Chain A
Amino acid sequence: MGKVMLEVKELTTKYVTRFNEDVYAVDHVSLKIEEGKSLGIAGESGCGKSTLALSLMGYYFSPLHYTSGDIIIDGVNISGMKPDEVRKSILGNEIAYIPQAAMNALNPTQKIIRFVEDVIHAHDPKKSKKEIYDMAVERFKVLGLPPEVLQRHAVELSGGMKQRTVIAISTILSPKVLIADEPSSALDVTSQKMVIKMMRELMEKGFIKSMIFITHELPLLYNVTDDIMVMYAGQIVEKGSAKEMVFDPVHPYSKGLMGSIIVPEAGTREVKLEAIPGTPPNLKNPPDGCRFAARCKYAKLECRTYDVPEKEFRDGRMYRCIHDVEYLKEVYGRDE
């Protein structure tokens, strides 16, 4: 078992709306990533996966507020830190964050090398420009990016190239955790593949020690991460290895989600897509009991009152449902 890079215990964060209502977008989430491992977070829009990404950085700005729980990066608890402290000492060298529109963050009037200098100087002001340049060229070469890019302006690069450049720059300090929130969703499929390839290289070459990858595209997640976690209405409903999660989901919601995957592969035309009726609950006042109960085919009366805890049924395999694994397997078999 590797060294634990990131551990989150019972993290709860909320949004405060204009009318002072609390919306708990991340509700008692716990997770653990070991060195060299990657975790994928899947879920529908509004399930809290992007909020989780923001919360993990410890970088809280209104309307997002920290409520409770711990975030431990390589043994250091950062949950109580002030945003300014987090920016100075955590972002960049401990955690790197790449949102979907990261490529638009590059100031078009500056050369790419300037951003590299900014990132490094934020943590090591003494480094000379020459050292930084050599370091950047080295890293770009290893990642398969042409080093000439460093002397260019952002507007001269294509969308895919910009996104890869941003990823290379934000991981230049070899952070312990990389949080990527839909990093390739705004790109065409070819650029997406290049981004994914690069992220895999980052992991393999040890430039990042662990990764959290957030997307709603399940086939992508399956190909990128070791483990997958499914979120629903601010909570984790199931967690397991990527293969098990895609081909052998336990929770009825994960089952539906995995059943909606479409890939252009022979034989998939005949498989009927699964559909889950209804919409996720409003997090302003979430329902009692299981949050998925209202849409669940297998819901019992107790589901609506009994708060189901996370149940671990095998090493690293967790789900949140009132039913036993055996029962669920049986009904799934019957339904097919």
Chain B
Amino acid sequence: MSEKMSENKVTIKKGDSVLKGVGITRVFGYGKSRNVAVDKVDFDFHAGEVISIVGESGSGKTTIAKMILGLIGVTEGEMYYNGQPRDISSHKKKKEYWQGIQAVFQDPFSSFNIFNKIDDLLIDCINLMGMKHKSQEEKVEMMTEACSFVNLKYAELTNKYPFELSGGQMQRLMIARIFLMKPKILIADEPTSMVDACSRATILDMLLKLRDEIDMTIIFITHDIGLAYYVSDTVYIMEHGKFVESGSAESVIITPQAAYTKRLISDVPKIHEEWDLSTV
């Protein structure tokens, strides 16, 4: 592990605020086509927590994710990273920021550059972590370790192209990538919605195991309120660019307060309780 990483690890304790947003707003377009995707949103994510941002399509949850990742700009508002105002004004600063924050995306098939071998993807991560100078053997050792963490065998993957893998394997490889980078925050944008039910549990387990291993904060972006309940400590419910309710998973989902949350939960099919169809 690099010097910088271990330094950071000392300064951040479990429960400290790692990412805080104040009045975060994002507007797309102007004039008649002006669209406020995210509207004056506040949040505070703590180290080691699993957070879910739940919303239906068009609620602005992916826009928030992209702003947190620094892939798109923030129209208004201030973000604080490790208690400091976030600065990603130059490519160099962004690169530093990205050492601490990473993402797993929804569609494993489009997350890979199909023209590059799997090794290239993993070596990229090693290089970004400032370990470019390491010898080939050391890099292979690191990649082997990362692959075995997600129950894949590096020896079987080396020199392969991503399209030779199944969706579940690809998504696990994405987690191996996170294992190599050991970020402090991971944004998981619907990481299981494109994989089969049987692989879903595997992927969730691996993410949570990784969280325990490196004390990472995971932010799940999802439309699946059941998934949010299953994995997260804190839940934010989002509607039309605003958070309508937030709190511990247990309190928000079992005893919802906001009308929207209540509706959302009642509209999801149940198996242990009667699913009340008369409410629509």
A residues with CB within 8 A of B:
44-45, 188-190, 192-194, 196-197, 200, 216-220, 222-223, 246, 256-257, 259-269, 273-277, 279
Contact = CB atoms under 8 A, between A and B. Distances in A.
B1 interface: no
Contact of A196 (B169, B230, B253, B277): B277
A256 B199 CA distance: 10
A277 B151 contact: yes
A190 B229 contact: no
Contacts of A192: 267
Interface string B251-280: 001100000000111011111110101011
Tell me if B's interface is mostly helix, strand, loop or mixed: helix
B72 interface: no
B212 to A, nearest CB: 15
Given A193-B280, A263-B226, A275-B201, 6 more contacts: A197-B280, A222-B271, A223-B269, A263-B268, A273-B201, A275-B205
A275 B208 CA distance: 14
Tell me if A's interface is mostly helix, strand, loop or mixed: loop
A51 to B, nearest CB: 17
A160 B271 CA distance: 23
B66 interface: no
A273 B169 contact: no
B272 A193 contact: no
Contacts of B263: 190
Nearest to B249: A269
Contacts of A45: 196
Interface string B192-205: 00001111111011
Nearest to A295: B198
**By CB atoms of chain B within 10 A, which of A193, A194, A223 has the most?**
A193
10 contacts: A197-B277, A222-B271, A261-B197, A261-B271, A262-B230, A264-B225, A264-B265, A268-B230, A274-B201, A279-B168
Contact of A189 (B202, B227, B249, B264): B264
A269 B279 CA distance: 26
B271 A189 contact: no
A268 B253 CA distance: 12
A275 B229 CA distance: 18
Interface string B221-241: 001111111100000000000
A262 B270 contact: no
